[in-house]
Structure 1
Amino acid sequence: MDQTAVTYREITPGARVAPPGAWVDVAPYAIPQTANPHFIANGVCVLLDDSQIDLCGEDRAWFYRRADMVTANAGAERAAQFSVSFDPRFERVDVHSIAVIRAGQRVEHSATAFYEVLRRERNMERLLFDGRLTIHVTLPDVRVGDVVETSYTLFGMRKSLSGRHSAFVPFEWGVGIVETRLRQRTPTHRTIAERTYGDVPQPTQAEADGVIDRRWRTFERPGIRFEALAPPWIFQGAMIQFSEWRSWAEAAATFTPLYEDSGPLAEEVEAEIARIAAAEPTPSGRATAILRFVQGNVRYLAIAMGEGGYTPRPLADICATRYGDCKDKSKLYVAMARKLGLDACPALVATRDGPALDQWLPTGQAFDHCIVRVRIDGRSHWLDPTQEAQVSPLGQLAECRYGWALPLAPGVEALEHMGEEPYIHSLEASEQVVLGKSPDAPVKYEWRVTMRGWRAEQMRARVGREGEVGLFKLYTEDIQRSFPTATPTQQLVVKDDHAFNELTTLEQFEIANAWIPRGAVFVFNTLDLFMRSMLVRLDAGERKLPVDLGHVGKMTRRVEIEMAVPMRVTPWRRAVAGSNISFEAELHVLSRKKYELTQTLDIRAWTLPASEAQVYREIVAELEKSDIELVRGVKGGKFVRNGQGGGAFGVWDAIRWLLIAALIGYWLWRYFGPGL
């Protein structure tokens, strides 16, 4: 089956086996006798990663070649799989080579391989269909020591991009690659801007016959350690950005016409517009009424096939089907808003990279979501019609905060900052624990939780999906993981205040056998359902990048413990503080039988400087010991008075000894006189 020449063969419409274009440079690479041990991962050593981009033809052509040396059986299983995906509506693919090189002999499989054509729809569970096809081949007889070399070229791009080239190409990964090559061919009349991030190698350049040929190469560059919890908008490895877009204004001017639609709206939509006009006299009231209508009456479904990934459907289709993706729902919102006299337009955002967009070269391919900007009284409001129904008024509902956005309106010249996330008291948890006189007495445990802002909206969405019964059933299962005998006595949403975007839940449980024997004593632990999970652990070691803290806001927890038998408790207070985050915990003695734990986690910005990583670790350590452990002795089946818990000497001990000392002093003074 030895083959060196590649013949033409159709795989499926839009995909074929064919030789590479004449412009491709299939330069040789080194194949060592044994793999460099510093570049082995998962049973494979990647010898070559080669990307070549050609902008001189009618369609953009992107050639890719990879060579893997198999070093273990696990690597053979992976290297034997070849896949390439494409969208047949605007892309086509040529497979050039699927070869196994063994002991210097090359066996070419591309012409005779069995190609499976799959439509995988990786985001189907998110109701997003892109129609991409995957060509897949499983190679026979791949062994340790073999080199598997594959190559293909992908042609085309969406018409809505007007042929403008834009791409990010990395030079570093978590695993080292022996040799990385990047090449870009550009006709002299086209201007492609470049911006580098990290340690990108210096390019070489040649120019001939009206073509600029730029090349980058790295050799034996080791893999990098990606820092956990780094902000997702920060590039951790070396990266180069190419862009043919001259400005953000050009991007706005390109996409704005795609959202303009003067077609008629459905009768029921026009009726809703009339109802809102009569019921809501203020711009803010109208803005939120439209939002609730689109969120609640147009279900989410994304058909992102071909141009559907960038272009919304006609208003008539959106109204007729009552479904749509973010582009469709934003387009309908804007159409309704303008009929009601509101200054509204679609806005493109990047849900992951948004805070860094102002540092990028302008590009129309930076965005992955569409929302709405509404201007009221000189202020921009950023609303997402794809969210589940937001019932609160403007100013209280949670608006989108993704860093930078690109409004799609005539005359837009630049990105617009979406403002900082408002600082709110987003979670307030209150627990009451009532303990009996013996370890056999059931413990009564109550959780009362108030959520505000985005947390309240998330809870409403969960209640809407699961129903109160279903949701509290899930919560019960969660509590029973710690207290298997816990029985709910009351579970309900006690308050849902739309005006202030605040929701409170109440859960009351009776827990039998909550005290666990440990030798001669019994132990009970409170159960933190909220604070502990706010932050996750951060690995030890040097930190170079900021720590991603998530949402801004304050979270508090209060635990009141009431005992039937007095217990000695020592009050304490612990606090850890950084520039943008702080945590405080304090144990109070309220009476001989009542104690209170208070905790406050305060996050004032999205990130924490790398220099304060240890502060973050210390706060996580505090959260991981956020529960109180009570330890009590038992005699005759009852708890012993003054059994220890949380400390050996408490405030009542101090008062008792002060009284004793005062009494002794009094009698000494009485019998011996002031001259003692």
Structure 2
Amino acid sequence: MTLTLKKILLLLLAVLPAVTQAQKKPGTSPTPSWLVPCHPNLQQKPNAKHISDGFYLLLAETQYHAELKSDYHHYIRQIISEAGIQNGSEISVDYDPQYEKLTFHRLVVKRDGQEINRLPGAAFKVLQQEEELSRFIYSGTYTAYLILEDVRKGDQIEYSYSLTGSNPIFDQKVDEQYYQVATEPVVNYYRNIIARPERQLHFKPFNDAALPQQRNWNGFTVYEWNTIRLQENDNISNLPSWYNPFTRLQVSEYNNWQEIARWAQHINTTAAPGPAVQNKIAALKQQAGNNPEAYLQAALRFVQDDIRYMGIEMGEYSHRPNTPDRVLAQRFGDCKDKSLLLCTLLNANGISAHMAYVNTELKGRVAQRLPSPTAFNHAIVYAILRGKTYWLDATLSYQRGSLASFCEPDYQLALVITDTTTRLTPIHKINSGHIAIRETLTLPAEEGQDGALRASTAWYREDADEQRAALAAASLQDKEATFLAFYRKFYGDMTLKDSMAVRDNPDSNVLRVQESYVIRHLWKKDSATNKLLFSVIAQSPSDILPYVTDGNRKTPLAIKYPYDLDYQIMVNTPIEWSLEQTPLHIKNDYYQFDFTATRSGKQIVLAYTLKTFQDHVPVAFMPQYAREIREIQKTTSLDLYLRPAFVQPVSQPGNRNWLAVVLAICSAAVFAYLAKQYYQHSVLPVRYPLEPLPIGGWLSLLAIGLVFSPMFELIVLCKAEVFNYETWATISARKDMGNISLVQLFLIGEVIIRVFMLCYSVLLAVLFFNRRDTFPFALATYYFITTLYLFFFNRINSYYFGDSTQGGVWTPNSILWPLLRMALWVPYLLTSPRAKATFIMPHPARLED
């Protein structure tokens, strides 16, 4: 039966040296004699408003004797409430029994001026706290845990202990980082380092940390400080991994990066490869032939895929790697184990390879720290082949593609472990990943029908590696459920239409996933407008560019880097929609975003591109970022409104709406009477002799238009569907149009206005051929009324009957026609001498006068 990883770990723990077991239990002893005298003021009290857990620290004292490798801690807790009894009655100390010994010196409860010694009967529980076990890292750290009994309000809990010993891997050198902030109020604070005068300690403050005061004491140099700040509640999210806002002080006995490189070279030196490693080298050579690139790739693939990641980082093996022979035999190792094995395999075939230390969180900011082995948290491989540099991470899984397409890790700086290294080496990122997303939405033509969504995503290079690993960690069914849940947040009730298809091309390192969904009852009724609504939702860039409410943020904002996205949403619509979305282009030193919305026939395409250039947005740029991110968010949705298509009924004999016909006839009579009245009106004084010029020149073209205009208006009026009874019956039966009376009023108004335009066109022809003086003004008024009517008619008609485009610009209902004619003929009639001399005839009644 195959053992699980946890069972293997238990077997390994069972064979640990017995001495380790003996060192786990804490011991007791008197207070050390080497302590520097500390004189706290135990009568002081903190500001009550800062106390949150029902207790505060009356004293926090830490003294470290660098020569004895002893770290002494002394605390006094003041319990002030019932909450303090709950939160302050437990004592816990973390330590590594591989090289540290825990000794308690004092444990008393002070109550009503009396001291109650709790140390003799203290029943410490030793617990194994492996916080990184989920990451397959076992460090051997333990916690001594004690729950105090009989703690009361007003008690003082005083305890002290020492941790003696240090990890031998660091050559007994001082290398620490001290935070000068506390989560609870500390009334008296004291910390020191006691060292021989010849030791050279380097101090570097961060965020205005206090440097220690230095003095001589009993032949030693004492570095001490007594300031600590109360940590403010800072709930700001999306901080870059390298950003640390807390006040802290780094202490290091190392002088430069060259010293760290030599130290690392010493602990990474191993003997010649054993038989198993030599056999593997021979197999890799045979597999690659005489191709060194193929050998490098095969060796990397073997270490990445066949040597699983797990680290037993106990004691000096926190930084010392296991030998390649042992790693190969056990078939597991952590980053330094796998990197050293890879270096051994590559160097055996003439490929120059060295281990390199990096910090995956600090990245390039590691240069701001003092030289120290603990400045790094990860190991990779620096290889040179045919003059080209490769940065290889042996802990990656499912990395595919050719060497030329390998993406450099975004660690920015590395300490290459060689005997010539004197400084950190930049990691220049040349290749990056790329993501291409294509979503196709198909919208139905009617309410109640289902829509469709097809999504195709392609990941390239390092993005393909990451997604390949994610897919391998879950079943296809789980992934389908995850992806379906993702789209349901956008479109509601959805089901999977076809099984998710995964196509992987390891040679080109491209991974493609295709998804197909059904969107149930796609159109939703908008209660505000009573229209059918569907909102196209783009995948929000907030995971890449987090949303901020304003530009007053005082800390840098982390953004995903590197990131390169090409994203399109194609919407197949049942009708042609008009688009009012304006393009958006944003580019600065940190990111670039582009958006366009285009329409081709019945398809709408929303195109997005997003690329980042750094891993954060600085504070100084935050006001502009806040404005730009709001603009970006506005592009991530598009509301489409649909009126169910208005069915144009076929006119048949006997189906006329005679009320509409009678209304048209009555309107025609009224407008004919008004036209007669207007015909009798004159605007020019009568001048003799009346000799108007005959109609000629450009006026001949106007004459042709005025002759055919009444015919056109009559045809349009006769074809109007308002005269068809079925049209009125259909409207009356529809419940999606809101107030039906308003719709019917719109149709009645259309009849009246169309009759008015017919009568007006006849009047214009009569005025024109009689060369009446009122013709120029009447013609200008006609064009203006026509333009105004078509403008409102098209929009109201679109609102009620779902026509989103009002037809083309050259159709009869386009307002372009009256505008062009008005722009041509009105100025001509006002400025042309011929026109002014033609239209001068008053009404005949004026002549008789």
TM normalised by structure 2 equals 0.71
SS at match of 1:675: helix
Whichever residue aligns with residue 52 of structure 2, its letter is: A
Distance 1:566 1:125, change over 3 A: same
Q: Distance in 2 between matches of 1:265 and 1:582?
A: 53
In structure 1, the residue matched to 2:378 is 369
* Residue 37 (structure 1) aligned with residue 48 (structure 2): yes
Distance 1:197 1:674, change over 3 A: same
In structure 2, the residue matched to 1:603 is 612
CA drift of 1:543 comes to: 4.0
In structure 2, the residue matched to 1:121 is 130
Distance 1:70 1:567, change over 3 A: farther
Question: More displaced, 348-357 or 523-532?
Answer: 523-532
* Residue 197 (structure 1) aligned with residue 351 (structure 2): no
Higher relative contact order (CA 8 A, sep 6+): 1
In structure 2, the residue matched to 1:5 is none
Q: How does 1:479-494 map to 2 (within 5 A)?
A: 479-483=487-491, 485-493=493-501
Q: How does 1:464-613 map to 2 (within 5 A)?
A: 464-483=472-491, 485-493=493-501, 495-519=503-527, 520-529=530-539, 531-538=541-548, 540=550, 542-591=552-601, 593-613=602-622
Whichever residue aligns with residue 325 of structure 2, its letter is: A
SS at match of 2:176: strand
Q: How does 1:94-133 map to 2 (within 5 A)?
A: 94-133=103-142
Among 312, 322, 325, the alignment partner of 1:316 is 325
* Residue 17 (structure 1) aligned with residue 56 (structure 2): no
CA drift of 1:539 comes to: 6.3
In structure 1, the residue matched to 2:224 is 215
Listed one character per residue, the Cα deviations across residues 7-66 of structure 1 (whole Å, up to 9, x for unaligned) are xxx996462122331122463534458641343234443443332211132xx1112233
Provide the aligned length of Structure 1 versus Structure 2.
661
In structure 2, the residue matched to 1:285 is 294
In structure 1, the residue matched to 2:766 is none
Distance 1:312 1:72, change over 3 A: same
Q: Distance in 2 between matches of 1:175 and 1:422?
A: 46
Whichever residue aligns with residue 829 of structure 2, its letter is: G
Q: How does 1:122-271 map to 2 (within 5 A)?
A: 122-173=131-182, 177-218=186-227, 223=232, 225=234, 228-267=237-276, 270-271=279-280
**Mapped contact 2:242–2:365 kept (Cα < 8 A):** yes
Question: More displaced, 231-240 or 335-344?
Answer: 231-240
Whichever residue aligns with residue 572 of structure 1, its letter is: T
Runs of at least 5 residues in structure 2 that lack an aligned partner in the other structure: 1-20, 646-732, 738-793, 831-849
In structure 2, the residue matched to 1:7 is none
Among 460, 463, 480, the alignment partner of 2:468 is 460
CA drift of 1:341 comes to: 0.9
SS at match of 1:583: strand
Among 347, 350, 356, the alignment partner of 1:347 is 356
Q: Distance in 2 between matches of 1:669 and 1:483?
A: 49
CA drift of 1:339 comes to: 1.1
SS at match of 1:218: coil
Among 403, 406, 417, the alignment partner of 2:426 is 417
Q: Distance in 1 between matches of 2:437 and 2:160?
A: 57
Listed one character per residue, the Cα deviations across residues 49-97 of structure 1 (whole Å, up to 9, x for unaligned) are 332211132xx11122333434544443221121111111111111233
Q: Distance in 1 between matches of 2:582 and 2:237?
A: 33
In structure 2, the residue matched to 1:664 is 818
Distance 1:220 1:382, change over 3 A: closer
SS at match of 1:41: coil
In structure 1, the residue matched to 2:62 is 51
Q: Distance in 2 between matches of 1:656 and 1:31?
A: 93
* Residue 403 (structure 1) aligned with residue 403 (structure 2): no
In structure 2, the residue matched to 1:429 is 437
In structure 1, the residue matched to 2:307 is 298
Q: Distance in 1 between matches of 2:301 and 2:22?
A: 48
CA RMSD of aligned residues (A): 3.3
Which of the two has greater strand per residue?
Answer: 1
Q: Distance in 2 between matches of 1:658 and 1:333?
A: 77
Q: Distance in 1 between matches of 2:91 and 2:582?
A: 61
Listed one character per residue, the Cα deviations across residues 338-357 of structure 1 (whole Å, up to 9, x for unaligned) are 11111001112221123122
Distance 1:545 1:633, change over 3 A: same
CA drift of 1:644 comes to: 8.6
Q: Distance in 1 between matches of 2:734 and 2:461?
A: 48
Which of the two has greater helix per residue?
Answer: 2
Q: Distance in 2 between matches of 1:525 and 1:518?
A: 11
CA drift of 1:658 comes to: 10
Distance 1:148 1:209, change over 3 A: closer
Q: Distance in 1 between matches of 2:168 and 2:282?
A: 34
Distance 1:539 1:112, change over 3 A: farther
Distance 1:658 1:143, change over 3 A: farther
Q: Distance in 2 between matches of 1:622 and 1:305?
A: 52
CA drift of 1:126 comes to: 1.3
Runs of at least 5 residues in structure 1 that lack an aligned partner in the other structure: 1-9
Distance 1:554 1:653, change over 3 A: farther
Q: Distance in 1 between matches of 2:818 and 2:394?
A: 76
Whichever residue aligns with residue 199 of structure 1, its letter is: D
Q: Distance in 2 between matches of 1:17 and 1:220?
A: 32
Whichever residue aligns with residue 109 of structure 1, its letter is: R
Listed one character per residue, the Cα deviations across residues 438-494 of structure 1 (whole Å, up to 9, x for unaligned) are 231111111111222321111111222224444233222333455453222234455
CA drift of 1:100 comes to: 3.5
Whichever residue aligns with residue 96 of structure 2, its letter is: D
TM normalised by structure 1 equals 0.88
Listed one character per residue, the Cα deviations across residues 563-592 of structure 1 (whole Å, up to 9, x for unaligned) are 11344432323444443123333332333x
**Mapped contact 1:438–1:639 kept (Cα < 8 A):** no
- Quote the sequence identity (%): 21
SS at match of 1:160: helix
**Mapped contact 1:39–1:222 kept (Cα < 8 A):** no
* Residue 445 (structure 1) aligned with residue 460 (structure 2): no
Question: More displaced, 76-85 or 330-339?
Answer: 76-85
